Chain A
Amino acid sequence: MTATTIDRRPAAEPRGEDATARTLVTLTIADQLCGVPVLSVRDILGEQPITRIPLAPPEIAGSLNLRGRIVTAIDLRCRLGVPPPPPGTPRMSVVTEQGGDLYALLVDQVSEVMTPPATSFERNPPTLPAAWAEFCSGIYRLEGRLMVELDIGRILALSTEG
């Protein structure tokens, strides 16, 4: 736990002290406001038909067709250890690219694009649950609520876990 926090420090630090603000796409997962860097987002999709992939890890919701390309859908709720939404709830996806392959992150809702002041950024509090701490690069203090910045690279690092 402590080890992971220390491990993350170098990556987070430049952002914390650096005055350059980052632009994030905000989204919600089980009522928690999260953000992903806007530059890593290729597409935002509404509810999509998803083909299940048998024998895949539970985090992989399936695959979908994005204008002729096959996109692997990853259920962020499952990845973050949050219980699944009630059946029939429409979900949106944030499409991102890694190593030439496209991935869709299934989230509850995608809202706005914002540039929170860099000064409002803080590193993960050490008490953050392990499932979140692993995928969060830090927290923004916004007016009235907190926003968790997600580390897409870590979220997609499923392959090594087999």
Chain B
Amino acid sequence: MDDLLAEFLTETTENLAELDVALVRLERNPDDGETLSLIFRLVHTIKGTCGFLGLPRLEKVAHAAENVLGKVRDGVLGVTPDLVSTVLAAIDQIKFIVASLGTTGAEPTGDDAELILRLDAVSNGRAVPPAAAPSPAAPPVAEVPAAVPAPSVPPIAAVPAEQPRPAPESAVEAPQSNQTIRLGVDVLEELMTLVSELVLTRNQLLQLARSRESAAFSVPLQRLSHITTDLQEGVMKTRMQPIGNAWGKLPRLVRDLTLELDKRIELVMRGAETELDRQVLELIKDPLTHMVRNSADHGLETPAERRAAGKPETGHITLNAFHEGGHIVIEVGDDGRGLPVDKIRAKIIAKGLATEAELAGMTDNQILRFIFRPGFSTAATITAVSGRGVGMDVVKTNVERIGGTIELASTVGQGTTFTIKIPLTLAIVSALIVEAGGERFAIPQLSVVELVRAGTEAAADAAEGEPVLQMINSTPVLRLRDRLLPLVNLADLLRLRADEARASASRRHIVVAQVGASLLGIVVDRVFDTEEIVVKPVAPIMRHVTMFSGNTILGDGSVIMILDPNGIARATGIAGSADGRSAGGPPAVAKAGRREERAAMLLFRAGGAEPKVVPLGLVARLEEIGADQIEAGADQVVTQYRGRLMPLIAMSGTLDLTRPRQTVLVFADAERRLGYDRCMGLVVDEIIDVVEDSLAIQLSTNRPGILGKAVIAGRATDIIDTGYWLTRAFADWFDAGEGGPGGNARLLIVEDSAFFRQMLEPSLIAAGYDVTAVGSAAEALALADAGARFNAIVSDIEMPDMDGLAFVARLRAGGPWMDLPIIALTGMTSPAQVEAGRAAGFTDYVRKFEREPLLASLRQCLAVSAEHRLHA
């Protein structure tokens, strides 16, 4: 028998048994909404599965039954004994067909028209019109299957109809028992515990044998040891399965949907080898199926619609599984039309799930999350594939049952991505063992990006290039290459007694961990080895401590707590890992620096009491510079910094040279390739803190050097215009002026240097543009493929892989962005190069750093392009 069919039969038989009980329960308590939801979901699952297995008879019966149940759920129909009998009759009919499937592998011939007629009648509110006829048949429900096919089919069919009861037992069992045995997880759990005990006893024996040196025992003991190890591995393996097993039936599902929906769909599966606990795997199978079906049905457009939107005809559904930060993450994404926020909003109001006023206060993402509510569906028509608003409800319930979370990210025109995060409560992971405050802890290896040994500021012998640990006020940060990392001291965080000798050591060990999209440095006293561990949940009394994801027993028999970097980040308020942005859209969009994204920012005071802020990513280093190292020239104050002169600019206007030490933010351009290896120091009064917040400029300002005000850490804060201060430092940098109104035109910045991206973005946003920044031509092209629309593009010329000239040539060759104004941004402006640029298709050429010419050029290009469109 077909594997898929066998699996379907096992599942359905289980579901049917549950249905009987649930329906009877519902009859007794007609108001039990939970039971009703359960029944509805079970019937829906049966219908959905047989739909793609090609079992039309079964599907029709299930569909009709679901119709009735749907009306009950919506409150249109009340629960009456008649109704329940009719539904039970339908379920018996399903049982009959399923039993027959088990014996012959095919649906029995026959006709369920009468039953469906009755179901439809009930569904339409008519009180079972042929009450007299079916009623006698309905109560002894077990006979219905035999009775229904009998009158209308030839006698041959009546024979299997009479006989199925004894036959299926052996027929269904036989093929299944050959391949797999269904075992309770508790049996495996018990085995696992026994094996763990065996391992420990073996270890004790080995230790004894070592001290006694009795040769007679050593050989059998060796053998015992090997067998124990093999046994342990074997038992562990029984519980782990690659997620690919759950995806096995998806390609066929998608293929069938392709035909059914008349769409072109390609299923991309990545990370199929990611291992998952079998119990977890079982529970996410159904949700995944539902989601893929939803993506195909609602998410992806028809080939004609896709063509019209300038996208390739073939839509993609992408499944991606990987381990991340102590979780297993499964992404189900499509590059379809995205979720329509407006339609969802209208539906929420229509369904009375929220008021208009409540919705007004919600972000788009919060509104989108309503699709997880029971009974919510935006599809205008109910199709056989999906669209009853049951799917996402089931998905969320199942995911949450195993302690997981589900997030979604959707961009209209670009697609929707669901991200399921499941804690690896039972999974085996590789972990790094560290020590802090005299205790050992395990950190899941997957969230560890790197290990750094950093010198403290006090250590004068800090080797060139070695990362340095510094204090901002009393907050430690790590200067690692070109970035500043927030740090937490593990011993302090866990309120452990600090190890005096280690705390004063000049070198510290820092575990750089990935938390959502940001990095976090965890300061520990010692770093040991990595070990494979089996994560065990912590005792219920300890569940409220979110910094631990579990505990485990190490090879030496000691118990050790497993740290959860996400929990640590939450406890310290560093990362908004719960804000759902991490979900991202298609990969290219996720990386693009949209302006609502949160960023780490440096808060400081300079020339006034109110705080000022600068994106931390722009600051290369923080320095304290002694007064004796500062040289005041005629028009500039400079210091010798790393073998070259660095101009110092005071934010407050005049530099107070009487202070013994100056706090300096060093801005450096790392883009040495272009020969801009210069840096400048911005002198400030005091550094306050490093905070994580969204950089949303709310008020623009006329003050020079200030981009505008934003609410950072709950206070109105000035955002400084780095571009302005850079031009103050170097005479040849154009003095920036007022930004022109961008009129919300959408701009795409293509620039490989993160420094310039971060510098350009805020100044263009301040000028009123809606800015998206990407780091390479490839990412930009991915956006083009994904259907993103822009009014103009600003691109760097010198970029790795594909340079600006090739990029623009590619765009000009055709596609939706063919006629966009594209402005080149470059450090080289020799006439020959300008000519080459224009030949390749650039609309204009602007030198890097020059804000005002860039704004002027943008205004001009956009005006021309608008005029062009008018005339076209």
A and B interact: yes
Distance, CA A54 to CA B563, complexed state (A): 11
A159 touches B541 (CB 8 A): yes
Cβ of A56 < 8 Å from any Cβ of B? yes
Of A60-68, A116-124, A126-134, which stretch is located at the interface?
A: A60-68
Please indicate the chain A residues that have their CB under 8 angstroms from the CB of B496 in the complex.
Answer: 54
Pick from A55, A62, A69, A72: contact of B193, CB under 8 Å: A69
B543 touches A159 (CB 8 A): yes
Cβ of A51 < 8 Å from any Cβ of B? yes
B560 touches A51 (CB 8 A): yes
Identity of the chain B residue whose Cβ is nearest the Cβ of A157 in the assembled complex:
B541
| B533-581 CB contacts (< 8 Å) to partner A | 536, 539-545, 547-548, 551-553, 557-561
Given contacts A101-B540, A103-B539, A158-B541, contact A51 B197 (CB under 8 A): no
Convert A122-162 into 0s and 1s, putting 1 for each residue whose CB lies closer than 8 angstroms to a CB of B: 00000000000000000000000000000000001011001
Please indicate the chain A residues that have their CB under 8 angstroms from the CB of B439 in the complex.
Answer: 51-52, 54
Pick from A51, A54, A67, A156: contact of B559, CB under 8 Å: A51
Given contacts A51-B559, A67-B196, A69-B193, contact A60 B545 (CB under 8 A): no
Please indicate the chain B residues that have their CB under 8 angstroms from the CB of A64 in the complex.
Answer: 559
Given contacts A53-B542, A72-B539, contact A63 B196 (CB under 8 A): no
Cβ of A83 < 8 Å from any Cβ of B? no
A159 touches B557 (CB 8 A): no
CB distance from A62 to the nearest CB of B (A): 8
Please indicate the chain B residues that have their CB under 8 angstroms from the CB of A44 in the complex.
Answer: none
Cβ of B199 < 8 Å from any Cβ of A? yes
B553 touches A65 (CB 8 A): yes
Pick from B193, B195, B440, B558: contact of A65, CB under 8 Å: B558
B558 touches A68 (CB 8 A): no
B539 touches A55 (CB 8 A): no
CB distance from A54 to the nearest CB of B (A): 3
CB distance from A155 to the nearest CB of B (A): 11
Distance, CA A55 to CA B441, complexed state (A): 14
A162 touches B544 (CB 8 A): yes
Cβ of A99 < 8 Å from any Cβ of B? yes
Distance, CA A118 to CA B823, complexed state (A): 95
| A11-38 CB contacts (< 8 Å) to partner B | none
A49 touches B197 (CB 8 A): no
A63 touches B559 (CB 8 A): yes
| B641-682 CB contacts (< 8 Å) to partner A | none
B495 touches A68 (CB 8 A): no
Identity of the chain B residue whose Cβ is nearest the Cβ of A98 in the assembled complex:
B540
Please indicate the chain B residues that have their CB under 8 angstroms from the CB of A60 in the complex.
Answer: 541-542
A67 touches B540 (CB 8 A): no
CB distance from B423 to the nearest CB of A (A): 17
B495 touches A55 (CB 8 A): yes
CB distance from A98 to the nearest CB of B (A): 9
Task: Tell me how many residues of A have a C-beta within 8 Å of chain B.
Answer: 25
| A65-99 CB contacts (< 8 Å) to partner B | 65, 67-70, 72, 99
B542 touches A68 (CB 8 A): no
| B174-203 CB contacts (< 8 Å) to partner A | 193, 195-197, 199-200
CB distance from B560 to the nearest CB of A (A): 6
B196 touches A55 (CB 8 A): no
Cβ of B864 < 8 Å from any Cβ of A? no
Pick from B440, B536, B540: contact of A70, CB under 8 Å: B536
Cβ of B494 < 8 Å from any Cβ of A? yes
Identity of the chain B residue whose Cβ is nearest the Cβ of A99 in the assembled complex:
B540
Pick from A52, A62, A68: contact of B196, CB under 8 Å: A68
CB distance from A46 to the nearest CB of B (A): 15
Distance, CA A49 to CA B558, complexed state (A): 8
Given contacts A51-B561, A53-B561, A54-B439, contact A72 B536 (CB under 8 A): no
Identity of the chain B residue whose Cβ is nearest the Cβ of A59 in the assembled complex:
B541
Distance, CA A101 to CA B542, complexed state (A): 12
Identity of the chain B residue whose Cβ is nearest the Cβ of A51 in the assembled complex:
B559
Please indicate the chain A residues that have their CB under 8 angstroms from the CB of B440 in the complex.
Answer: 51
B544 touches A65 (CB 8 A): no
Distance, CA A152 to CA B682, complexed state (A): 65
Distance, CA A49 to CA B539, complexed state (A): 18
Please indicate the chain B residues that have their CB under 8 angstroms from the CB of A52 in the complex.
Answer: 439
Please indicate the chain A residues that have their CB under 8 angstroms from the CB of B200 in the complex.
Answer: 65, 67-68
Residue in B440, B494, B542, B558 whose Cβ sees the most chain A Cβ within 10 Å: B542
Distance, CA A54 to CA B567, complexed state (A): 14
Distance, CA A70 to CA B562, complexed state (A): 13
Please indicate the chain B residues that have their CB under 8 angstroms from the CB of A54 in the complex.
Answer: 437, 439, 494-496, 547, 561
Identity of the chain A residue whose Cβ is nearest the Cβ of B571 in the assembled complex:
A55
Distance, CA A5 to CA B553, complexed state (A): 42
Distance, CA A159 to CA B439, complexed state (A): 24
B536 touches A159 (CB 8 A): no
Identity of the chain B residue whose Cβ is nearest the Cβ of A103 in the assembled complex:
B539
Residue in B195, B496, B539, B543 whose Cβ sees the most chain A Cβ within 10 Å: B539
B560 touches A56 (CB 8 A): no
Given contacts A49-B558, A63-B551, A162-B544, contact A68 B197 (CB under 8 A): yes
Given contacts A54-B495, A54-B496, contact A65 B559 (CB under 8 A): yes
CB distance from A67 to the nearest CB of B (A): 4
Please indicate the chain B residues that have their CB under 8 angstroms from the CB of A67 in the complex.
Answer: 196-197, 200
Distance, CA A158 to CA B539, complexed state (A): 11
Please indicate the chain B residues that have their CB under 8 angstroms from the CB of A68 in the complex.
Answer: 193, 195-197, 199-200, 553
Please indicate the chain A residues that have their CB under 8 angstroms from the CB of B540 in the complex.
Answer: 99, 101, 159
Pick from A55, A63, A69, A103: contact of B545, CB under 8 Å: A55
Please indicate the chain A residues that have their CB under 8 angstroms from the CB of B560 in the complex.
Answer: 51
Distance, CA A54 to CA B195, complexed state (A): 29
Given contacts A63-B551, A70-B551, A101-B540, contact A56 B197 (CB under 8 A): no
Identity of the chain B residue whose Cβ is nearest the Cβ of A74 in the assembled complex:
B541
Distance, CA A141 to CA B544, complexed state (A): 41
CB distance from B266 to the nearest CB of A (A): 46
Convert A104-124 into 0s and 1s, putting 1 for each residue whose CB lies closer than 8 angstroms to a CB of B: 000000000000000000000
Please indicate the chain B residues that have their CB under 8 angstroms from the CB of A99 in the complex.
Answer: 540
Please indicate the chain A residues that have their CB under 8 angstroms from the CB of B495 in the complex.
Answer: 54-55
CB distance from A95 to the nearest CB of B (A): 13
Please indicate the chain A residues that have their CB under 8 angstroms from the CB of B193 in the complex.
Answer: 68-69
Distance, CA A101 to CA B539, complexed state (A): 7
Please indicate the chain B residues that have their CB under 8 angstroms from the CB of A57 in the complex.
Answer: 541
CB distance from B802 to the nearest CB of A (A): 50
CB distance from A74 to the nearest CB of B (A): 8
Distance, CA A162 to CA B553, complexed state (A): 25
Distance, CA A55 to CA B561, complexed state (A): 12
CB distance from B544 to the nearest CB of A (A): 5
Please indicate the chain B residues that have their CB under 8 angstroms from the CB of A49 in the complex.
Answer: 558
Identity of the chain A residue whose Cβ is nearest the Cβ of B540 in the assembled complex:
A159
Please indicate the chain A residues that have their CB under 8 angstroms from the CB of B559 in the complex.
Answer: 51, 62-65, 70
Given contacts A51-B439, A52-B439, A55-B494, contact A72 B561 (CB under 8 A): no
Convert B212-235 into 0s and 1s, putting 1 for each residue whose CB lies closer than 8 angstroms to a CB of A: 000000000000000000000000
Please indicate the chain A residues that have their CB under 8 angstroms from the CB of B552 in the complex.
Answer: 70
CB distance from A139 to the nearest CB of B (A): 28
Please indicate the chain B residues that have their CB under 8 angstroms from the CB of A159 in the complex.
Answer: 540-541, 543
What are 17 A-B pairs at a CB distance below 8 A? A51-B558, A51-B560, A53-B545, A53-B548, A53-B561, A54-B547, A55-B495, A56-B545, A57-B541, A63-B559, A65-B557, A65-B558, A67-B197, A68-B196, A70-B552, A101-B540, A162-B544
- Residues of B whose CB lies within 8 Å of any CB of A are 193, 195-197, 199-200, 437, 439-440, 494-496, 536, 539-545, 547-548, 551-553, 557-561
- Residues of A whose CB lies within 8 Å of any CB of B are 49, 51-57, 60, 62-65, 67-70, 72, 99, 101, 103, 156, 158-159, 162
Q: A70-B553, A103-B539 provided; 17 other pairs, C-beta below 8 A?
A: A51-B439, A51-B558, A51-B560, A54-B437, A54-B547, A56-B541, A60-B541, A60-B542, A63-B539, A63-B559, A65-B557, A65-B558, A68-B196, A72-B541, A99-B540, A159-B541, A159-B543
Q: Which 10 pairs between the two chains have the least Cβ-Cβ distance? A: A68-B196, A54-B494, A72-B539, A67-B197, A51-B559, A63-B559, A158-B541, A159-B541, A68-B197, A55-B545
